[in-house]
Chains A and B, each alone.
Chain A
Amino acid sequence: MKAKIIKKTDISSFLDRLVKDYEVFAPVEKEGLINFERISSGNEALFDCPNTKMSPKQFLFPQSETLFSYSSTKDTCELEVPPGPEKPQLIFGIRPCDAMSFTLLDKVFGGDFKDPYYLNRRANTIVVSIGCLSPKATCFCTSVGGGPFSTEGSDILLIGIGDKYVVQIVSDNGTKLLDKKGLEDAGKEKLDLAAGVIKKTEAAMNPGVETEGLKEKLDNSFDDPIWQELTEKCLGCGVCTYLCPSCHCFDIVDEAADSGGKRIRLWDSCQFPLFTLQASGFNPRPTVKERFRQRVMHKFSYLLDSCGQIGCVGCGRCITECPVNLDIRQVLNSIAQLEGVK
């Protein structure tokens, strides 16, 4: 493992130097909400805070983005694609769960169909994550292939040991970022301390959900009446999908006025009735039962088929923020415990 060492008190000035070359985003408290915001100096960033309300997926996949704008006259039509970002962006202080969601988004937007908007942003993004020292009771990253110190999706991972961070370099981009920054190598003693912290934190995590054999259970329980029971309280709002770091479904709309307009891509939610409403008026997912089932199936079955990865990173946002406490862990465990279903 390639790793450097930095004092926690030096992080702020380290960020100050990065602000010159990157658009730096970090957790910031604003009007009572902790969210990733653009910072202009290191002391604005929060290091030891609960996970952000919104996931950082918006930096790769914004809630709404103009794909192109157009204007036309009687004889001409001009298209304009918005220019890409001027500076590369650096997301600092992201949690390993959220960073892991980027590996899923990479597969979705960079698979058979290459999405230039996403890929351009991704190529211009550096991810510096901070290992999670205090996973909440609602966290279950270890159940879905991640962990509080997972390096998946990160370029650099900071592991807190006392008053210092072990700076683990994960990718070439991470190496480049630390080039000529004058950080000392982390010696064996510090690495051992970091390993101890990781082990202790992982051991203290809640059991979460059992995902072994879950896909088969889900595939075989599509028509099970339990879905009615599990989803009866669902309000059908978009909280779970909009706050989720992995949810990535989108809609495309045209906003037109007179002879000009723009085509916009925006987040969509499988929980909304419009998501599958067909032009004929028929809706194959007419109630919250079919819609919530879709969310679970997409995450824990279909994405395994199409991307080889679960569409959930266990961040727990959908659990803590659901207005009616529809807890995805309960849903998954109920399916796992179904008898008579393979």
Chain B
Amino acid sequence: MQELTNMIREVARDLLKQKSVDLIIGFAQGTMPLCSTPCFVRQDDEVDRLIWDSFCENNLAKYLVKRSNKIAIVAKGCDTRAVVELIKENQISRDQIVIIGIPCQGMVDRRLVESALNGKEIQEAEEMNGELIIKGKIFEKVLNRDEFLCLSCKTCTHRNPVIYDILVGDPVTEIDTKPYLDVAKFEALTPEEQGEYFSREFAKCIRCYACRNACPLCYCQECFVDSSKPQWIGKTTNASDTAIFHIMRAFHLAGRCVECGACERACPMGVDIRKLNRKLSKDVKERFDYEAGLSLEQVAPLSTFQPDDSEDFMLHP
């Protein structure tokens, strides 16, 4: 990891020196163990703040929208997919950004590690050769990092950047996984069981909108939940209002969600937010053979129309 950190810094230093960019968005050391934090570098002497480790969990594409200057972004596979979508949706132009692509080995979920320690506080943590060395006041534990990956990283099929200008590090092998196995399992439940599952999950929601705000593709000028004229949904944590928020958000992300899992990691209450998004991603994949954020050329299926589109959902008199 130190090697990747050094390479990122070198690239960043060059970009700033050559004045190719005004800003570099990457990660810095966080203030807690197992925690990195988004970082904005504009000066040569700030470059050494940049790091790379197993805790760079945020999707930095979030910070690209509404910027006018030239930006370099340190991007994992999922960040690059979000960048692709943002370019396609005209939120940023391709020539405005320099993508520093990093092949990703999956990010470690701090909360999973914490839960394996039965509430004991982590005071220090180190990463070495695929292992996490966790130290607390009266304990030391060595964990296999791959067992503590974020849920979205466990199902990720695009760890390598799909688009980049500079690649830092060697490409990694993509996981050999049967895609959407988790969704297929969920689809096998009865509608009642599915409904109960979502009711239980949404009951945890406190409407803090961390999911929406962490999502790189949630950039609406005015989110439908904030609209007051008309007011589409109520603002309390009433079960139906909360459900409508999550369902509508998922539909708005259908065919756009890049499955980075930023929503779920941002959620303080542990709501299974990805379930809906994954189901819709699977539907889009099956019906339109489309996965969001993989190519700049492929037309987004839900924002286009062709006269010969299948319309079997239409009810003819």
A: residues with CB less than 8 A from B are 31-33, 49-50, 53-54, 63-64, 134, 136-138, 229, 232-233, 235-239, 242-243, 251, 253, 255, 264, 266, 269, 272-274, 319-321, 323-327, 329-330
Q: How far is the CB of B240 from chain A (nearest CB, A)?
A: 12
Chain A residues whose CB sits within 8 angstroms of the CB of B40 once the complex forms: 229, 232-233
B: residues with CB less than 8 A from A are 30-32, 35-40, 58, 62-63, 115, 119, 121, 123, 200, 204, 206-210, 212-214, 226, 228, 234-238, 262, 265-266, 268-270
Q: How far is the CB of A320 from chain B (nearest CB, A)?
A: 7
Chain B residues whose CB sits within 8 angstroms of the CB of A238 once the complex forms: 206-210
Chain A residues whose CB sits within 8 angstroms of the CB of B200 once the complex forms: 31
The answer on a CB contact under 8 Å between B204 and A325 is no
Closest chain A residue, CB of each to CB of B114? A50
Which 4 residue pairs are nearest across A and B when measured between Cβ atoms? A323-B266, A238-B208, A325-B37, A64-B236
Given contacts A269-B208, A323-B266, A264 and B30 within 8 Å (CB-CB):
no
25 contacts across the A-B interface (CB closer than 8 A): A50-B119, A53-B269, A54-B206, A63-B237, A64-B237, A137-B32, A229-B40, A235-B214, A235-B266, A237-B214, A238-B206, A239-B208, A239-B210, A251-B235, A253-B235, A273-B226, A274-B226, A319-B32, A323-B262, A323-B265, A323-B266, A325-B36, A325-B37, A327-B30, A329-B31
Q: How far is the CB of A133 from chain B (nearest CB, A)?
A: 12
Q: How far is the CB of A64 from chain B (nearest CB, A)?
A: 4
A136 to B214, CA, bound (A): 26
The answer on a CB contact under 8 Å between B30 and A325 is yes
Main secondary structure on A side of the interface with B: loop
The answer on a CB contact under 8 Å between B38 and A264 is no
Closest chain B residue, CB of each to CB of A236? B213
A126 to B235, CA, bound (A): 30
Given contacts A237-B208, A239-B208, A330 and B31 within 8 Å (CB-CB):
yes
Given contacts A49-B119, A134-B121, A323-B265, A235 and B235 within 8 Å (CB-CB):
no
Q: How far is the CB of A127 from chain B (nearest CB, A)?
A: 23
Residue among A239, A253, A264 having the largest count of chain B Cβ atoms under 10 Å: A239
The answer on a CB contact under 8 Å between A53 and B31 is no
Chain B residues whose CB sits within 8 angstroms of the CB of A134 once the complex forms: 121
A134 to B206, CA, bound (A): 28
A33 to B267, CA, bound (A): 12
A49 to B63, CA, bound (A): 37
Closest chain A residue, CB of each to CB of B263? A323
Closest chain A residue, CB of each to CB of B225? A274
Chain A residues whose CB sits within 8 angstroms of the CB of B30 once the complex forms: 325, 327
Chain B residues whose CB sits within 8 angstroms of the CB of A239 once the complex forms: 208, 210, 266, 268
Chain A residues whose CB sits within 8 angstroms of the CB of B123 once the complex forms: 137
Closest chain A residue, CB of each to CB of B33? A137
The answer on a CB contact under 8 Å between B58 and A323 is yes
Beyond A64-B235, A235-B266, A239-B268, 4 additional pairs, beta carbon < 8 A: A233-B38, A237-B214, A239-B266, A264-B236
A326 to B32, CA, bound (A): 11
The answer on a CB contact under 8 Å between A325 and B35 is yes
A242 to B38, CA, bound (A): 22
